[in-house]
Amino acid sequence: MTKIKGLIEDISGAIRVTKKREEAFKNAKDENLYVDPINQVARALHPSPFLVKVIKIEDVSITSRMFTFQAVNNTLPIFQAGNYVSIRVKIGNTVTSRPYSISSAPYEARGENGFFSITVRRGEDGTGFVSNYLYDHLKIQDTLEVEMPFGHFYFESLRDSKDIVGIAGGSGITPFYSMAKEIAHGTLDYNLTILYGSLSHLDIILEKELDEIERKCDRVKVIHVLSDENAKLNPEDLKGYISRDVIKKYSIDQDPKNGKTTYFICGPLPMYKYIKGELDGLNVPKRRIRMEVFGTDKDVSKIEGFPIEVKNEQYKITVVRGIKEDVIDAYANEPIIVALERHGILIRSLCRSGECGACRCKVLEGEFFIPKDVDYRRLADKRFNYIHTCSCYPLSDMKIKITIL
Ligand SMILES: Cc1cc2nc3c(=O)[nH]c(=O)nc-3n(C[C@H](O)[C@H](O)[C@H](O)COP(=O)(O)OP(=O)(O)OC[C@H]3O[C@@H](n4cnc5c(N)ncnc54)[C@H](O)[C@@H]3O)c2cc1C
């Protein structure tokens, strides 16, 4: 408690303090010496979208290119091997984004000349809206806007064992390449056996680069499992698919049920479904399985619960942003986020797989469909009618309220 010394002492004390303050202001330097370490860490971990420029482009398979970036203004944010970044692009009238796993290692992003890479696989027949754009048009020195690294697909020593079997399909190899590099550098402490499914050697992404890591580091092993009947096999390669027998063979003690192996899976949706069946068949407990998100089903009309009769319907969505209202066309068979982006309405998104919630918005009116597999909404979101627009399809005219960007 402050002791009152008496009126005169208090008044003269206040005058002395005021004088000292004025003196301090007069002598103060122009630069801001105030450092806020908590905000500094928060900003480093969760930066606003930032600009990067392309510094290197390499072909890493006949259909895939690795793009390496450096930050334009600031240093690169911290990330974990296995994280992804969301790349923003403008193609025609569409402003959109796609997530790409970071395929370089976290240690390479540190320091003044730090960099990070993504590896983009060209889309096949009629697909590849963004991937083909990046693959065909991105040049050295081009700049792009990128969202902070994100995702839950990384090794966590409190949770995961030090014996990891990574199961990859197609471009799902990219986060494992980042992990393998970090292990070889000595900054991640676990053993990684990658079972990598491809059609043939021609389709393997980062093959040469993976071979090199395997040669340098005995904690990383890569087994290619090739499904094309005519695929030529190297001595260690396996033919067929990544079946439960293959998974068992490369698990610690060949005991997937009771052993310690943690399984990390990254690949296209059909592969997830198949591998999940194989792991269930081996009675692997759920706590030892980690799955990366990898988009939504290409054809929503084939998903259980979707009312097939509205498959080709077109609806109107009224989009409320503050006091502004726009009415846009949307199709029953495309996620609401795609309809927004086709009309040039910017909405934040990271995973585009229903998981992260960055594209969350409130439904004011209307019916919609969310496939069970990608419905990651919280209980409160369901109760108060919030949706993740990347995994939600309109089933009637709708009215939604989105955040102004
Ligand atoms: C966590 C994560 C990590 C990933 N990492 C990688 C990786 O390392 N390498 C890699 O190659 N891929 C990766 N992917 C996949 C990648 O994000 C893209 O899905 C992939 O490149 C295909 O996108 P696309 O636009 O080329 O394909 P498309 O199949 O053409 O399009 C996909 C979506 O875009 C929509 N679309 C089509 N036309 C338009 C339009 N005019 N306007 C707006 N939207 C439109 C489609 O409706 C569809 O929903 C990753 C995905 C996830 C979720």
Mean pLDDT estimate for the chain:
93
pLDDT band at 2 (very low <50, low <70, confident <90, very high): low
Q: Which range marks the domain in which residue 175 is found?
A: 163-291
Task: State whether 342 and 378 are in the same domain.
Answer: yes
pLDDT above 90 for 264: yes
Domain co-membership, 196 together with 273: yes
CA 390 to chain centre: 14
The residue type found at 348 is R
C-beta of residue 317 within 8 angstroms of C-beta of residue 336:
yes
**Domain closes at, from 223, 258, 291:** 291
Clarify whether residues 68 and 108 are in a common domain: yes
pLDDT in tens, 120-139: 999 987 789 999 999 999 99
The answer to whether residues 169 and 214 belong to one domain is yes
User: How many angstroms separate the alpha carbon of residue 39 from the centre of ligand 1?
Assistant: 34
My answer on whether 231 and 276 are in the same domain is yes
Residue 363 contacts by C-beta under 8 Å, 6 or more apart in sequence?
A: 385, 386, 387, 398, 399, 400
pLDDT of residue 4: 61
Quote the pLDDT of residue 299.
Answer: 92
With the most atoms of ligand 1 within 8 angstroms of its CB, the residue from 79, 86, 98 to mutate is: 98
pLDDT in tens, 284-332: 999 999 999 878 888 999 999 999 999 999 999 999 999 999 999 999 9
Q: DSSP character for 186? A: T
- Of the pLDDT bands very low, low, confident and very high (cuts 50, 70, 90), residue 229 is very high
pLDDT of residue 304: 92
CB-based contacts of 332: which residues, under 8 Å, 6+ apart? 300, 310, 311, 312, 313, 314, 315, 369, 393, 394, 395
Query: What is the length of the chain?
Result: 405
Among 75, 77, 71, 79, smallest CA distance to 55 is for 71
Q: Do both 270 and 211 map to the same domain?
A: yes
Sign of the dihedral through C-alpha 181, 185, 186, 188: negative
Rounded to 10°, the helix 207-216/174-185 angle is: 20
**In a shared domain, residues 174 and 286:** yes
The pLDDT value given to residue 350:
95
- 79-120 pLDDT, tens digit per residue, is 999 999 999 999 998 899 999 999 999 999 998 899 999 999
Examine the domain organization and report whether 170 and 286 are in the same domain.
yes
pLDDT of 36: 85
Which pLDDT score, from 0 to 100, does residue 26 have? 87
Indicate whether this model's pTM tops 0.85.
yes
CA-nearest residue for atom 18, ligand 1, is: 98
Confidence at residue 52, expressed as pLDDT on a 0 to 100 scale = 96
Does residue 36 lie in a domain region? Answer: no
Give the C-alpha separation, 304 to 354, whole Å: 17
- CATH code of 73's domain: 2.40.30.10
Ligand 1: residues within 6 Å at CB? Answer: 84, 94, 96, 98-101, 118-121, 123, 127-131, 171, 174, 292-295, 334, 338, 341-342, 351-353
Looking at the structure, do residues 184 and 281 belong to the same domain, yes or no?
Answer: yes
Domain-ending residue, one of 84, 118, 146: 146
Mean pLDDT throughout 271-288? 95
Distance CA(358)–CA(348), nearest Å, equals 6
- Concatenated DSSP letters for 90-113? EETTEEEEEEEEB-S-GGGG-STT
Residue 333 lies in a domain: yes
Answer yes or no: do 169 and 281 share one domain.
yes
Banded pLDDT at 1 (limits 50, 70, 90): low
User: Phi first, then psi: what are they for 191, rounded to 5°?
Assistant: -100, 135
Residues 62 and 181 in one domain: no
pLDDT of residue 405: 79
Number of domains forming the structure of the chain:
3
What is the number of the ligand 1 atom nearest to the C-alpha of 121? Answer: 11
Among 259, 291, 323, which residue terminates a domain?
291
How many C-beta atoms surround the C-beta of residue 265 within 10 A? 23
| Of the candidates 68, 87, 73, 82, the residue with the CA atom closest to the CA atom of residue 148 | 87
Whole-number Å distance, alpha carbon 337 to ligand 1 midpoint, is: 13
Q: Is 12 a domain residue?
A: no
Spatial contact of 256 and 243, defined as CB atoms under 8 Å apart: no
pLDDT tens readout for residues 142-184: 999 999 999 999 999 999 999 999 999 999 999 999 999 999 9
In which band, very low, low, confident or very high, does the pLDDT at 8 lie, cut at 50, 70 and 90? confident
What is the C-alpha to C-alpha distance for residues 5 and 96, in angstroms, rounded to an integer? 67
Give the C-alpha separation, 350 to 46, whole Å.
13
Nearest ligand 1 atom, CA 123:
26
- Phi/psi for 22 (5° steps) reads -60, -40
Give the count of beta carbons closer than 10 Å to the beta carbon of residue 121: 21
Residues 168 and 287 in one domain: yes
Could you tell me which residues are beta bridge partners of residue 192? 164, 220
